[in-house]
Each structure stands twice: as structure tokens, then as C-alpha cells.
Chains A and B, each alone.
Chain A
Amino acid sequence: MQKIDKILIGVAFSPNLKPNIFEAVRLANIFDAELVGVHVGEKTDQKITDLNALLEETETLNKNFKVIWQEGKPVDVILETCTNENINLLILGALQQENLFKYYVGSIARKITRKAPCSVLLLIKPSVIRHVCKHIVVNGLSDNKTEETIKTSFFVAKKLNCKKITIVEEIKQEELHIKVNDDISLRRANIAKERIKTREDRRVKSILKEIDCSNLSVKTQSIFGKRGYSIGHYAKLKRADLLVMNAQSKLGILDRIFPHDIEYILSELPTDVLIVK
């Protein structure tokens, strides 16, 4: 992605509208992008005045704001708009589980995330007042999309003025090939782990070579565990403010039944998540 010049936000007249709009306007200004709002439903005068009243309260937009009013199925409408308007970034709000500090993505947003042609930013708690982004966690899987994702995360970090980035290499337990039984196999397993870790670090370093890392503290961390799930766990544990992930190539029906990677994140958002396409 690496360049954000058109941001799309869904406008639903719910209690969350105000913080959503505030975040969207703020982000649009940070990235110096156009903002597009889409409302699925009837266009009424009441709604227009409400929206305008809200925009009055926000900081002024650098570029223009366009609202699209269209009736139909939410998923289809939003996806269509993404393609038609050449959107780079789609912002979606997450839901909070009742009484719990756990966030998840509703079924509509989930469908959109899966099919979106552009990058998606999931916000767990959009707020009127800006909270500073201090720590970004990004995945460093051995995948051909990873390079792009890491570059994007550095781009975002610079824009958001974030000082710390951790690149997490998730390594499947199966890659170890050694089962720990006793002291000897434990020692062997640890040597193998170190070897894999060095290998992964080298891979990530080769990506980092092309990126300007000045003013940023960059750390790599390898984790042995389930892909997608452990990075979310790590992001939550480290209280990261943004988690940047690769988009999934293709999701079949089996991936829903046996969730992995992004599906884990969607069912249990650890923090704000940016899925890079």
C-alpha cells in the first residue's frame, strides 16, 4: 500500500458515529487524504444536518469530504464503493463485548474485511480525543506480502509519529521437528530454535535494509505458536497501539470452520488492527 490518498468510512447513525467521524477526519489529515463517507440507506434531510453538525465540531479537513448515499446490502454497497472510488484505506469500528474489555468484529464488518479490495483499519475504540500511538507490532511471517506490510507499517509509523516498532516472526511449532522429551531432546530443540530464530532475523533484516529506520526503535521478536493467534496475544500483552498484518490470500469455507491467522484476530481484537492489502 504505502500511499493513502483516499479513505472510506461507513456512516451509520449510531452512538458511535461521532468518534468514528472524528477518527476518520484525523487520519485523513494525517495522511493528507481525501475522505469518503458512505451511508447505506435513505438520504434524508435530518441525516444530512446531523452529519454536517458533526463535521463542524471536528478539525477542518485538508481535502474535501464526499458522502455517498446508496441503498442496498451493506456489504455489497461498501465493497462496490471501495472499487469504484479507488479507495486505499477502509476504516471499520469494532464492537465491544458487554461488560468486558474484549472487542470483536461484527458479522457485517467481518465479511467486508475478508473481501475488501483495499487495506482495512479496524478500530477498537474510536475516540473523540486523539490517543497517541506509541508502539506498532507488525508481522514478519515468511510470506511474499510481508515486505509490503513491513514497509507500510514504517510508513504509518512515521505519519503517526510512532517511535517503536516490533516485528514479530511467528514460527510454527511444527517447524522445529523436535519433540521435547528429556534433557537431551530439550537441548537439541533449543539449538534448533536458535537456528530458526537467526534465520528469521536475517530474513527480516534483509527487508529492513531497504527501509529508512532512523528515529525509530526497531526490535525483532520470534514467537513459537499458532499463526495469527499468538501475534494478537503478543500485541495485547505488550499493549501495542496498532497491529499491522498481511491480508490473507484466499479464504475458503474450511478457514472459517478452522479459524486461523486473521480469523483469530477478528474474533478477538487485541488492539487497533491494520490489514494491509
Chain B
Amino acid sequence: MNIIVPIKQVPNLTDELEINGEGNNLDHEALQYVLNEFDEHALEEAVLTKESASGTVTVVGVDTTGELDGALHTALAKGADKAAKITGDFPRGTDSHTQARLLAEAIKDMSPDIVLTGVQAADDRDGQIGPMIAAHLGMPYVGVVTGVTVSGGKAVLHKEYAGGVMAEFEVSLPMVVGVQAAHQPPRYAPVSKIRQIAKTAKIDEIAGGEAAGAGSTVRRMFKPESAGHAEMWEGSPEEVAEKIAGLIRDKGLLRG
């Protein structure tokens, strides 16, 4: 079974985020990049799937930072079997439409049985990479998945809904899964092991095609502005609700 894990690197949120000079994006060059946390869960779920159902895990990503090798070596240390990077003129912050198309083109040639990727990423938060890869590949997609079990050409998926509701899906392979959380916390890869692997590992290079063009454009990006003060309303739920409705009316937020 071919298990494919598309990954992407995102700005490290433990660092101070900087806005670029134009004020419409992050200052990507000033930021440190780390692997998207949801992709770490996708990788963990992939390795767990391999361990229970056998198969090969291939990790693939668009090298937007010039530093993707580190993330790929880490993935290999955690139990992935193969690693590939898509290269080309794709700078940091490359939009998700482009990344999805590049990834889908690369994955198409890998004859995937199941594609596991993070349900979303901390950079754009639109959660579109998984569904778009599925659309490009003509495969079904299920997102917000917290558990994958594969057997006999089918995958049983646990999907989380709001309000603590869980659903179980049975989907025929091949398919794309957006992983919310793996069965167990992502394993730790000892740096000793990553450094050993970095010396010998082979990373396949895939030349990337055309950029797809972003699905949305950011007009202005700015840090949260702190201003004003909070007013605490007391009273019965009805009274408070009346005040809230009044405020919404006064601020002109109601149409018509």
C-alpha cells in the first residue's frame, strides 16, 4: 500500500511575527519555519497505518524555504520510507492553490492508495490543500479525521464534528484524508537519529510546474490593535440580550 503524506512548512508561531513593508503579508524572510503541526499528526497516522496494515510511507512537500530537507529527514527518522521535494521558483508563503496543484501533480505519479495530510495549517487556515489535492486527483476527501483504519481496499475514518459529535465513514481507496489528530501524539525523532539519516538519506527531487494563482488576495495585514475598554453588562439573559441587540443596531451592523 502506498501511503503519501504531503507536508508544508509554516512560520514558527513561537517567534514574533513580522509584517512586510507593503503591509499585506508576513515578512517571510524574517521568520523561522517549522513543519505544520497538523502535518505532524498526518505523518504519525501514516506511520501507524503502515505499522498496522503494512505499506510504504512517502513524504512530499514543496520546498518553499530551501530548508525542507530538515523536515524530510525528520519524517524519515520517524518512520517514513521515502522523501521527495518539489523544487522551482516557489518562495516562502506560496499560496495553498499552487501548493495543492504541485503536490497533486507529484502524487499522481506515485500511484497512491491513501493520501494523509494535515487538515489545515497555521499560515492561511483555509484548510484547502487536502480538498484541492483530492479534486485534482479525482479522489474522495474526508477532513477533520481523528483516526484511520485501513483494510481490504477500504478506510474506516473517525471524523469529528462540532459539539462533540463523532461520525464513522467507510471510504473506498484511493482517497485523501485531512488529519486533525493522530491516534497517538506524534512521536519524537531523536536528533541523533535525524543527523544519522541526514548523512545518508536520498531525497527525490521533482521539478515543479506552473503556479496556480492564489484563490484569494490579502489587501491588508496588521497586528491586532488594542484599543478601548471592555464594558461588563449585568442582568438577566433577556436584559443582556436586549442590550447586545441594541448595540448591534446602534453600530449599524444590521442590514435593512
Q: Determine if chain A interacts with chain B.
A: no
Which residues of B line the A interface, CB within 8 A? none
